[in-house]
Structure formats: C-alpha cells, structure tokens
C-alpha cells in the first residue's frame, strides 16, 4: 500500500503555482484520495483563475494545476472523478441567511408566488393551505397549528395581505399563521389571534404594528415586525425541541442542495444556537454553520461563545443587531417618504425603526469594546445614517481594528452612505436578488423608478474597490445560488426590466461575492472561498460553466453536486435532497421531518459507542407508520422547553 504521511501546515500551504515540481515532490509525502478533472475548474484565485485538475487528501486541497502534474499524485487507491464537462467552483459561502428557519420554510406549506410557488392570488393561497391540510392531518393535530411560508402581497392580484377573514375561510378550528416572504410580517386567522392574546385593546408594541380594520381598533390579522415576533412563542409552543432539531437538519440539507458548504443562521437566540450545536454534536450538519446571536436578547452568550473555530461544523461567530424592517413590506426606515406605498399609510410615511438610537449606539459600542464581530440589519437610509453615526463613534473611541463589521441588506443607500461604509471598513452583504423578486415593486411603489436603479448598489461598491457579499436571506427567498448569480449579473426583474444597469457586475465578480469575499467576511479566507493548495476541499459542481453561458440563462444552471471537505454531501437526484427542494413540490419534507425525528430519538437512546452509521441505517429500514405514530405521540406531549425562531 502506498505510504501516506500526515500533512503538515507547511506542506499544505505550498503553492503549486510557485513550482511545477510540487506534485512530483509531494508524491513522496502524500497521495491523492480524490482527483477531480475533465471539466472547467474556476478557482477564484486571481493568480491562477483556472486549473485542469485538483487533488484532495485529508479534506484539503493538496494540488491544483495541470492534469499532468496532478496525475503524479494518483495512487492505486485514488478515486478519479470525471467532471464530464461540468464546472467545479469553490463551495458557496452563505453571506447571510437563516438555516434553522429555512428548515421551517422547507417543512411548511409553500406560500410563495410564481416562479417558486403557485400563489398569485388569495384564492390560490386558500387552496394551497387546504391541500396542505389534507396531506398533513396528523401533523396538524400534533402541532395544533397550520403554518405556511412565503406569501408576498406585492405579487398577489389583490395587492394586499391576506386577512383573518381570508384565513378563517380555511379553518376556524386550528390557528393559521402564514409568514410573509420578508419574514418580517405575518397573517393570522381569528383562532391564532386568540391564542396570541391579540384583541382590539392590545396596543402596538414598540417597533411593531398590529394592522387594524377600518374602525381603527379591531385587528385584521396582519402583524408587522415586533408584533409578529412577540406572537410566535404562543403559536409555536407545541412544536417542541424535536421540531427545532428537524427544522435545523432540514435547513442545512437544503443549503447543501444549492451548493453551499458554509451556511449562516443570521439571527439566533441562545436556544436556537444550542439546537444547532446539538445537531452538530450528532453529526447532522452536512455543511459548516456559523450563527450570530441577537445582541438585544443575550449579548453575554454571544461574547462567551464567539469563536473562529468550528466544532463538529458549528460555531458562534458573534452578534446581530436589527435596526429596521422590510423594504418591500414598507417597514424599512427611510429618510424620505415611500414613493407610492400600497396600504393604509399616512401621508409622508417613512417606515420606522425597530430599536432606539440608544440601543444602536450601545450595541456597536459593546461589540467594539469586546472585539466581537457584529452583523447589522439595516435597509432604509435613516437606518444607515444611524448605523454610520454609531460605528463612527465607536471607531473614534476604540481605534481602527480588523473587526469586519457587516452591513446586512443595505437596500436603499445614498451614494454618500456607500462612501461612509467603505471609509469605516464595513463589509456590505447585499441582496441583489431583490432586483428579480421585487425590482418592479421597488420601481413602482417603494422608492420609485430613479432610486430603484440603485437598490443593492453592487456597482458603487466595486467602483470604490470594495469587496461585497451577495446573499439570499432564506427563508425570504430560497437559498437558490444560481438565482443569486443571475440577479447579481443581470439585475433583470420578473417583468424583464433591468433594475439599475450601472450596478451590474461581471460573472467572476458575482461568483467572488458568493465564495471568496464572504469567506473573508467570516474571517475564513485562509480555509475557504477559492481553490488553492492548503484550503478545505469544499466544492460545488454545476451543470455548465457560468462564464461560458449566456448571462440571461444563469438562473437555469443546476447544482449537480456539493462536496464538503472532499466528501459529497449532495448529489442531484437523491431522494432526500429532492424532498427538500421547496420550489419543486408543494409540501416538501413533512414525511422526511418525522423520519428524521424518529431516527434522532432512536439514536439518542443508544449508548454513545453504539451510535454508528450502521445503527442509523438499521433504524431507517425499520421506519414505518408505527414509528411515525411514536413520533406523533412524542410531539403531542407538552414540551419541556421551547425553541425560539430566528428572524431576518
């Protein structure tokens, strides 16, 4: 058998580009476990943008270069993967998303409008809910809840939110909660309002709105921001901890199916972070997951647990602060009135902040004083002004440092604010996918045709030499990497309009915003983001070369395989991954959720030394209707602890 020695850091960091002899020299030390070749390999490394082959051993890249040189590392046990013309890139790094609540998206009724779902009007939403109820009667009885995710009033024929009357027509027996695609607004039926304790006498909470009917007192079922978030615990109380574990596992698998090898839970409570930590300890995270804990919920937890090192593919990265709300939902905090808002808004309506000025200054000051990375959700111009002032104040107090403070979303920015963020070394994690989903809405209703061209201003940042990240913010949208790529390059809306031609970037720049630059955002550029010797063997394999196809067809490219540290964690066509592709089927993952809960429960009952892959396979073969009944009985028990749901 060929001798294989342990890789040292010095061996790993040798560059193939520095010496054509490296593969031959390295052969004496280590042979490749896997070699990838036979298709375009885009590295995101400016020194060598393309290579012919890549060799992997010990979960890391040991060579990247010509097919001839890499072949020198092939031994008798080496697996050679022929890409067959498919393109291989670094695995995608999630610049901003919500892995756990993304699992909720995968497991609830699909309320999305076309092209990701059927819901173009309220009648269709009602029918979708009825169909979901018919397919999930036992689950509804156990959870005592009917849940849906992803409706978008801007895409409904009625151009309004569903009301309690609309949802009462579906059911008055069970509470119904359907979450807006922004994850900042929801619609409840009368039963859900009753359980949440919301009546005509309930005042609007700070940072939130309870929408009312014409008399101005009776709730109409629509809750915004903190009114929505504060109602969730009562509505989700029967899901219990096992449901949270199932959501997290489903979310991580969904991310892997779109080519992500690093996912983010971008706003967590400590309980959500602990759910993810538990999954990691059970070996159920196929990809790395980094989470950021809400600094207004428990900043001590964020400080104590923040680390740059993963344990079982999980770590706490730092803290998260949310200043305002949703731009398409008219809750982002602007410096000028909305252009033509749809709904009952007073003249001169600007949106509103979700926090106070004091909370923003205090949160940034705390992060800088304790050297904790902080992500800040800020969408409207007034929110940006406040954030810039707070960062400027803390920078003056504590001096410059490599903090990598992250602006999340930044949809409506003035150009002077871009200058300020760049000067303050803020990393912009932008949301150019908005140009596809809501570009027409922004043009016609939120900011108007002139300012709509500059939403998610990727072009402005590149003109200033700044890195940026492109994100999906799932479950606001599916973590569809190819839709992100398409929107960042073309900025074409649903109607076919180009929203901001001057903000478009080329394909390689857009890919760096999904790989190399978000790896830097997370302090992980030494291990991720490009195909270079010494970095983790995290790859995504696409159906074609994104630099060689018509840019207008980028959204049609498919993720065919996702590789995490040299191991395939997703292959297109596998049953489990197909179940989790929410855009393809109406009711993704419910059967799978119960199966995974059952398997988790059975494995946890075994002694640690018996918790093997073989044991899991044995239980999987034994899963049947009786096993499902066991899970239902378990879920029906009063939970001993709740799982808070993270939000955007």
Categorize the per-residue pLDDT at 606 as very low, low, confident or very high, splitting at 50, 70 and 90: low
Where is the domain boundary, 85, 120, 139? 85
Evaluate whether 547 touches 499 at the Cβ level (below 8 Å). no
Distances (CA, A) of 508 to 64, 486, 489: 19, 12, 9
Where is the domain boundary, 483, 514, 545? 514
In a domain, 338, yes or no: yes
- Residue range 543-570: average pLDDT? 97
- Residue range 497-516: average pLDDT? 98
Mean pLDDT rounded to a whole number for the chain: 86
Q: Angle 270-281/295-305 helices, nearest 10 degrees?
A: 40
Q: Which domain holds residue 377?
A: 323-514
Among 9-23, 71-85, 219-233, where is mean pLDDT lowest?
9-23
Residue range 295-339, pLDDT digits in tens = 999 999 999 999 999 999 999 999 999 999 999 989 999 999 999
In a domain, 531, yes or no: no
Is residue 362 over pLDDT 80? yes
Give the predicted TM-score (pTM) of the model: 0.78
In a domain, 398, yes or no: yes
Q: Strands 146-151 and 314-322: what pairing? A: unpaired
Chain-centroid distance of CA 368 in Å reads 25
Categorize the per-residue pLDDT at 609 as very low, low, confident or very high, splitting at 50, 70 and 90: low
CATH number, domain of 502, equals 3.20.20.140
In a domain, 441, yes or no: yes
Is residue 199 over pLDDT 50? yes
Residue range 25-44, pLDDT digits in tens = 333 368 999 999 999 999 99
In a domain, 460, yes or no: yes
In a domain, 259, yes or no: no
Residue range 42-96, pLDDT digits in tens = 999 999 999 999 999 999 999 999 999 999 999 999 999 999 999 999 999 999 9
Rounded-to-integer distance, Cα 561 and Cα 543, Å: 9
Rounded-to-integer distance, Cα 408 and Cα 161, Å: 26
Where is the domain boundary, 85, 118, 143? 85
CATH number, domain of 33, equals 2.30.40.10
| Beta-sheet strands, E only, within 276-373 | 288-294, 314-322
Evaluate whether 460 touches 414 at the Cβ level (below 8 Å). no
In a domain, 48, yes or no: yes
- Residue range 473-482: average pLDDT? 89
Count how many domains the chain has: 2
Categorize the per-residue pLDDT at 20 as very low, low, confident or very high, splitting at 50, 70 and 90: very low
Is residue 619 over pLDDT 80? no
Categorize the per-residue pLDDT at 19 as very low, low, confident or very high, splitting at 50, 70 and 90: very low
Distances (CA, A) of 498 to 437, 495, 568: 12, 9, 37
In sequence order, what are the residues at sequence separation of 6 or more whose Cβ sits closer than 8 angstroms to the Cβ of residue 575? none
In a domain, 32, yes or no: yes
Evaluate whether 418 touches 461 at the Cβ level (below 8 Å). yes
Residue range 82-116, pLDDT digits in tens = 999 999 999 999 999 999 888 776 668 889 898 88
């Amino acid at each position: 058998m060929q001798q294989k020695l342990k890789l040292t850091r010095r061996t790993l960091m040798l560059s193939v580009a520095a010496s054509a002899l490296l593969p031959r020299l390295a052969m004496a030390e280590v042979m490749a476990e896997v070699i990838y070749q036979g298709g375009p390999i885009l590295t995101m490394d400016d020194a060598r943008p393309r290579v012919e082959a890549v060799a992997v051993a010990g979960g890391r890249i040991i060579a990247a270069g010509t097919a001839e040189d890499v072949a020198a590392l092939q031994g008798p046990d080496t697996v050679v993967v022929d890409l067959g013309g498919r393109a291989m890139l670094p695995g995608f790094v999630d610049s901003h998303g919500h892995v756990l609540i993304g699992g909720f998206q995968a497991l609830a009724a699909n309320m999305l409008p076309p092209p990701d779902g059927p819901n173009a009007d309220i009648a269709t939403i009602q029918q979708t809910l009825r169909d979901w109820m018919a397919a999930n009667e036992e689950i509804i009885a156990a959870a005592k809840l009917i849940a849906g995710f992803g409706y978008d009033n801007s895409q409904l024929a009625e151009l309004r939110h569903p009301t309690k009357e609309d949802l009462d027509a579906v059911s008055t027996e069970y509470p119904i909660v359907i979450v807006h695609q922004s994850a900042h607004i929801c619609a409840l039926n009368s039963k859900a309002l009753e359980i949440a304790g919301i009546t005509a006498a309930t005042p609007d909470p700070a940072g939130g709105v309870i929408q009312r009917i014409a008399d101005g007192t009776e709730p109409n079922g629509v809750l915004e921001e903190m009114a929505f978030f504060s109602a969730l615990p009562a509505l989700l109380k029967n899901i219990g901890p096992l449901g949270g574990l199932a959501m997290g596992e489903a979310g991580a698998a969904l991310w892997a199916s779109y080519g992500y090898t690093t996912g983010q839970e971008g706003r967590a409570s400590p309980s959500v972070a602990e759910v993810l930590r538990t999954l990691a300890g059970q070996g159920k995270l196929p990809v790395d997951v980094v989470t950021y804990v809400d600094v207004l919920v428990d900043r001590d937890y964020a400080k104590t647990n923040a680390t740059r090192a993963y344990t079982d593919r999980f770590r706490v990265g730092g803290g998260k602060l949310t200043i305002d709300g949703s731009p398409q939902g008219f809750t982002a905090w602007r410096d000028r009135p909305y252009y033509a808002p749809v709904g009952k808004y007073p003249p001169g309506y600007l949106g509103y902040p979700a926090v106070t000025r004091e909370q923003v200054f205090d949160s940034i000051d705390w992060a800088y004083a304790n050297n904790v990375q902080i992500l800040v959700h800020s969408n409207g111009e007034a929110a940006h002004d406040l954030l810039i002032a707070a960062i400027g104040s803390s920078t003056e107090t504590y001096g410059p440092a490599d903090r990598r403070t992250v602006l999340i979303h930044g949809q409506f920015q003035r150009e002077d604010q871009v200058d300020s963020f760049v000067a303050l070394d803020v990393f912009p994690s932008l949301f150019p996918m908005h140009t596809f989903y809501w570009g027409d809405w922004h043009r016609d209703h939120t900011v108007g045709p002139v300012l709509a061209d500059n939403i998610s201003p990727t072009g402005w940042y590149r003109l200033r030499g700044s890195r940026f990240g492109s994100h999906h913010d799932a479950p606001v949208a599916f973590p569809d990497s190819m839709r992100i790529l398409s929107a960042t390059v073309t900025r074409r809306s649903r109607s076919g309009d180009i929203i901001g031609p001057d903000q478009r970037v080329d394909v390689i720049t857009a890919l760096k915003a999904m790989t190399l630059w978000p790896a830097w955002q997370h302090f992980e550029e030494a291990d991720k983001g490009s195909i270079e010797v010494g970095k983790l063997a995290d790859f995504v394999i696409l159906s074609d070369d994104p630099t060689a196809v018509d840019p207008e067809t980028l959204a049609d490219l498919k993720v065919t395989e996702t590789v995490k540290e040299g191991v395939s964690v997703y292959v297109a066509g596998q049953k489990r991954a197909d179940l989790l592709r929410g855009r393809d089927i109406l009711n993704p993952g419910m059967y799978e959720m119960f199966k995974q809960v059952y398997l988790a429960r059975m494995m946890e009952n075994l002694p640690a030394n018996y918790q093997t892959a073989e044991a899991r396979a044995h239980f999987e073969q034994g899963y049947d209707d009786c096993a499902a009944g066991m899970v239902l009985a378990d879920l029906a028990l009063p939970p001993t602890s709740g799982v808070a749901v993270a939000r955007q």
